[in-house]
Amino acid sequence: MVRKLNVFKIGLLVLVMSCVAFSVVYAATPSDEAVDKGIQLMSGNKLDEAASEFNKAKTLTPKNSAAYWGLATCASRKGQLDEALVLINKAIELDPVRGMFYDNRAVIYNEKKEYAKSLSDFNTAIKLGFQSNPGFIAGVEASLKQASQPPVSKDNKKI
């Protein structure tokens, strides 16, 4: 369990770094600046303040997919998985070729124990050129395999 958490943190760090790198390439608008500030706050685990910045970005530019990604990431880290899923789905709707969004949704599905959907989204992220964490994917594959095994009783007989 501890190892899974560390892989999750590494994956989150990769996502944050990817978003920061993406935002540096383009001329910053006030909406982009709010996203950048939100990412910095999120990396410092100031999730409520980060969400405020992502909401500001969304208000300034309603179709800012990175703002929805940031809000989804904050919600996911707070354990608000249903809300996170709605938000990341909106990010994907706005920018369906951003592999990092599928990777983020895969993590959310994994946390919801929807392993087949998680694995599917990891594969989509990879097809779109995002480098998902192989260790995390292996963990999802193992969870999916274990979840598909029939339950057994204490004396190892199938129930």
Per-residue pLDDT of the chain (159 residues; tens, 9 = 90+): 445 545 555 555 555 555 555 555 556 899 999 999 999 999 999 999 999 999 999 999 999 999 999 999 999 999 999 999 999 999 999 999 999 999 999 999 999 999 999 999 999 999 999 999 999 899 999 998 988 877 766 666 655
- Could you tell me the pTM of the whole model? 0.77
Q: At what angle do helices 30-43 and 65-77 cross, to 10 degrees?
A: 20
Give the per-residue pLDDT at 28.
82
In a domain, 154, yes or no: no
Give the per-residue pLDDT at 153.
67
Tokens of 55: 């909401």
In a domain, 56, yes or no: yes
Q: At what angle do helices 115-127 and 99-111 cross, to 10 degrees?
A: 170
In a domain, 159, yes or no: no
Residue range(s) defining the domain that contains residue 93: 2-146
Number of domain units in the chain? 1
Q: Which residue has the tokens 């998680």?
A: 118
In a domain, 7, yes or no: yes
Give the per-residue pLDDT at 5.
47
Give the per-residue pLDDT at 150.
76
CATH number at residue 100: 1.25.40.10
Give the per-residue pLDDT at 21.
52
Tokens of 101: 């969004």
**Distance between CA atoms of residues 74 and 77, nearest Å:** 5
In a domain, 151, yes or no: no
Handedness of CA 38, 57, 14, 102 (dihedral sign): positive
In a domain, 157, yes or no: no
